Amino acid sequence: MEPIVKDVMTARVVSVRKDASFRAMAAALREHRVSAFPVLDDNGKVIGVVSEADMLAKAALDSEPQGMPGMIVGMLRRREYEKARGTIAGDLMTSPAVTVTPDDTLERAARLMYTRGVKRLPVVDEGGYVVGIIGRADLLAVFDRSDEDMRREILDQVIRHDLHTDPAVFAIEVKDGVVTIGGVAETEDFGHQIVRRLRHVQGVVAVRDRLAYPHPAHPAEAFDDTFGVITRSAVD
């Protein structure tokens, strides 16, 4: 079964209201040893995220360095500079928040983190209320699984149960999370289906396809059931 967000998320979430002060958030970072807070509106729904980077930007950019008037202002986008001058969570937060749901795949969560350049994602329910948080370390935790455990799932769950095929027709090796599959694929499509399915097994780092695929029939060939032979059309 492909792992999903609720399998690895942290359910205990330290969040702040949009009117939380800079000082209160700095103290909470130290007290709870977290690196970011989901920011909630008056109804308790997630509206943004304040990270250590947001708070560091305020500490670094809230005033211009002496002897360099206007230089930093000119280098930064206006919105970033104004954000750095904020004093509460609502001013400093990145909004809207990039979120996932408990049932989203880890693949989707990883893609969001990569494309949006964020290190963690609030996990929200259908109503927009926070139920957890997931970070990069949580995503990487799925790779902490033994080779034998993955091989057993591949043989018993994926090949025998999901694909209704005898595992004995394939040679499966798992080493350091890398799956190598050999044997003969019944059809090219079926072989590709197996390889795609193996890539989604929890903990798999990569799949090496060593399957032997049947050669496609000649476009002008046809099988004659009457005589059990291959005949060629007149176009040859």
pTM equals: 0.66
Same fold, 5-141 and 147-212: no
Tens digit of pLDDT at every position of the chain (236 positions)? 678 999 999 999 999 999 999 999 999 988 998 889 999 999 999 999 998 888 887 666 655 544 444 555 555 456 666 666 778 999 889 889 999 999 999 989 999 999 998 999 999 999 999 999 999 989 888 888 899 999 999 999 999 999 999 999 999 999 999 999 999 998 999 999 999 999 989 889 999 999 999 876 555 444 444 444 444 444 44
Tell me: domain 147-212, CATH 3.30.300.130, correct? yes
| Cα distance between residue 132 and residue 11, in whole Å | 4
Locate the domains of the chain by residue range: 5-141, 147-212
So what's the architecture of 5-141 in CATH?
A: Roll (3.10)
| Cα distance between residue 195 and residue 181, in whole Å | 8
Place of tokens 């609502």: 90
- Burial track 177-205 (b if 16+ CB lie within 10 A, e otherwise): bebebebebeeeeebeebbebbeebbbbe
